[in-house]
Structure 1
Amino acid sequence: SVSTQEGSTVAATFNAPTFVTILDPTRLEVDAYVDEVDIGGVKVGQQATFTVDAYPNKVFKGKVEAIHPQAVIQDNVVNYDVIIGISDSFVGLLRPTMTANVTITLNTLNGVLAIPMRAVKRENGKSFVMIPSGNGKGLVQRPVTLGRESGDFVQVKAGLSVGDKVFVPGGRSGPETQM
């Protein structure tokens, strides 16, 4: 950044304006603002991915390098500044001040049964899904025990097995979707 004009006199004092800021394009990072509701799960070292509007189909990789302890309040929403170091070399693609859409991987679960969240119904504090009835006519409720959520999916800890069919409202493959 340049905070002075041609012909201006710049004195070397503690209050001197910024004359030039030099950026190293090989050492860019992402400033991500994380809501206070989510910040408790974010830790230094976690993997992150992000996209930028200029390349919407390109997924860039990085990891959490720092979490600033001071909150940043924007429009009465409390956020925390999380620094994402960019692990891949994307010289020439990324530019300072590009808008990034960041996903931070809090943890990874492999080999778990997951279903679309919209298949889950909640009533009186209990969760259930709709499955085909035994006679093949209509649907019946089946209680399920849920685990972690990720995006549009939720882990099923109990109540379903691999291969069970569940009803997913608005599903693309018809009224029933096998999970």
Structure 2
Amino acid sequence: MKKIFAILLACTLLGAGVFAFLSKRGGGKIQILETVKAEKATIEDQLLATGIVKPVVGAKIEIGARATGLISSLPVKVGDRVEQGQLIAKIDSREIERNIETMRISLKTLKANLEKERSLFPVNTDLQRKNIEKREADLRLAERNYGRQKKLYDQDASTDEKLDQSLHELKLAQAELDSVKTELEKIRTTHVNDIIVLENQIKETEARLQELLVQRSYYDIHAPISGVVTQVAADEGETIVAGLQVANLITILQPEKLEMWIYVDETDIGKIKEGMKVFYTVDTYPKKRFDGVISRIYLEPETKEGIVYYTAVISITPEDALLLKTDMTTHVRIVREVKQDVLSVQNGAVKWDGAESVVYKITGDRKNPAERISVKTGVKDENRTEITEGLSEGDEIALKIILPEKKQGFN
């Protein structure tokens, strides 16, 4: 009995529902649920795109190690704020410092030798000149002695032995004079050569010392910019080999220097240009609107999944940058055109009949409460559509409407 009652109750409810539905359909009559006015408003023609937050060029620096050795000090960690020039890592430099000290001692010795050579040269040349003067005097004496012996010999007042002896002494004096003169020239030549060699050795040693000092600077790693440490790729006590394990030891970012890259489809790139205004949102602040302007459009395309995109760049103010993070996805609207004080209706009031845009204008007639009107539309934003032909300001238009069964496609 209960089962039969339940079946009867279900049939009754189903019949009531069908009756209510048919009653609501009004027997094929149009029913107006909500209306809006055709009004003048400001409309922004917008192009939707997706973007990504990036650091500007130079705002993110990846700092590598140019020296090989043990990391003796690593005073920073991820999240630390550092200032330009601050020491952020130190590599054990004892070996290169010993080499620098050795090179400095060598340079000091070479400079001392150069100074010694320059100071001794006048002394040696003066001494040699005095020797020359003495040998010249000896030569003059030998010449006079030989002349006297020759005169005596011609007068048969001297012997062959004395004449030969005086001649021998004359030749010996001349040879000794030539020898000391040659020695003086040798001293001069040797001095010039020694000066050249020492000066070259000093230049080479200074260059080598300078090279070692430059290499020494690689052992103390300083922050090239002020910013926040975002990555540390090694630990204190680790040994690193320059150019091999650690291409990037520490990364520093200036979080206030950001920009946004918008990826624009090749079919839309011709619709935008530099200077156009944009506004965008990010998922973490869905109700906050960020504003900007297209500052650059890159000519080089980028292909993703077979689709060609071009990159438009938008500068981000330091205030907005404090809320954003690198690599955040942005939902962008590019304002292509702004039309002020144009006739428009809410987007939902414009219906489609094939390729034709239509609206339903309220007539006030009980039998035919809404009139189907073809309209021409202009720009459209997220809320309103411009009407360029077919309506007048103040016209009442159906926003939500129930049409007869044969017009169901317009609901």
What TM-score range do you get, normalising by the shorter chain?
0.7 to 0.9
The alpha carbon displacement at 1:147 in A equals 0.9
| 8 Å CA contact retained: 1:3, 1:17 | no
The alpha carbon displacement at 1:25 in A equals 1.9
Question: Gaps spanning 5+ residues in structure 2: where?
Answer: 1-61, 63-230, 402-411
1:10-89 maps to which residues of 2 (within 5 A)?
Answer: 10-11=242-243, 17-87=247-317, 89=319
Select between 22-31 and 113-122 the one with higher mean Cα deviation: 113-122
Tell me the distance in 1 between the aligned counterparts of 2:284 and 2:304. 25
Counterpart of 2:380 in structure 1 is 149
Tell me the distance in 1 between the aligned counterparts of 2:335 and 2:292. 11
Counterpart of 2:325 in structure 1 is 95
Q: Whose RCO is larger (CA < 8 A, sep 6+)? A: 2
Amino acid at match of 1:70: E
| 8 Å CA contact retained: 1:120, 1:128 | yes
| 8 Å CA contact retained: 2:232, 2:251 | no
SS at match of 2:319: coil
Tell me the distance in 2 between the aligned counterparts of 1:54 and 1:168. 33
| 8 Å CA contact retained: 2:258, 2:315 | yes
The alpha carbon displacement at 1:140 in A equals 1.4
Q: Which has the higher helix share?
A: 2
| 8 Å CA contact retained: 2:258, 2:321 | no
Tell me the distance in 2 between the aligned counterparts of 1:169 and 1:10. 71
Amino acid at match of 1:47: K
Counterpart of 2:241 in structure 1 is 9
SS at match of 1:151: coil
Q: Higher Cα Rg: structure 1 or 2?
A: 2
Of residues 339, 343, 364, the one that matches 1:109 is 339
Deviation per residue, 1:27-82 (Å, 9 max, x gap): 21111212223222211111111212222222112111111222222233332221
Tell me the distance in 1 between the aligned counterparts of 2:258 and 2:286. 18
| 8 Å CA contact retained: 1:60, 1:88 | no
Question: Gaps spanning 5+ residues in structure 1: where?
Answer: 171-179
Of residues 117, 124, 128, the one that matches 2:358 is 128
- 2:398 is aligned with 1:158: no
Deviation per residue, 1:130-179 (Å, 9 max, x gap): 11235244321112121112224321012112211111237xxxxxxxxx
TM-score by length of 2: 0.37
The alpha carbon displacement at 1:85 in A equals 0.7
Relative to structure 1, the CA distance from residue 32 to residue 21 in structure 2 (aligned partners, 3 Å threshold; closer, same or farther) is: farther
| 8 Å CA contact retained: 2:257, 2:321 | no
Select between 119-128 and 34-43 the one with higher mean Cα deviation: 119-128
Tell me the distance in 2 between the aligned counterparts of 1:134 and 1:90. 52
What's the RMSD between the two structures over aligned residues? 2.7
| 8 Å CA contact retained: 2:360, 2:371 | yes
Relative to structure 1, the CA distance from residue 83 to residue 159 in structure 2 (aligned partners, 3 Å threshold; closer, same or farther) is: same
Counterpart of 2:205 in structure 1 is none
| 8 Å CA contact retained: 2:264, 2:312 | yes
Tell me the distance in 2 between the aligned counterparts of 1:105 and 1:140. 34
Relative to structure 1, the CA distance from residue 88 to residue 141 in structure 2 (aligned partners, 3 Å threshold; closer, same or farther) is: farther
| 8 Å CA contact retained: 1:62, 1:88 | no
Relative to structure 1, the CA distance from residue 54 to residue 5 in structure 2 (aligned partners, 3 Å threshold; closer, same or farther) is: same
Q: Which has the higher strand share?
A: 1
| 8 Å CA contact retained: 2:256, 2:318 | no
- Percent sequence identity over aligned pairs: 30
Counterpart of 2:20 in structure 1 is none
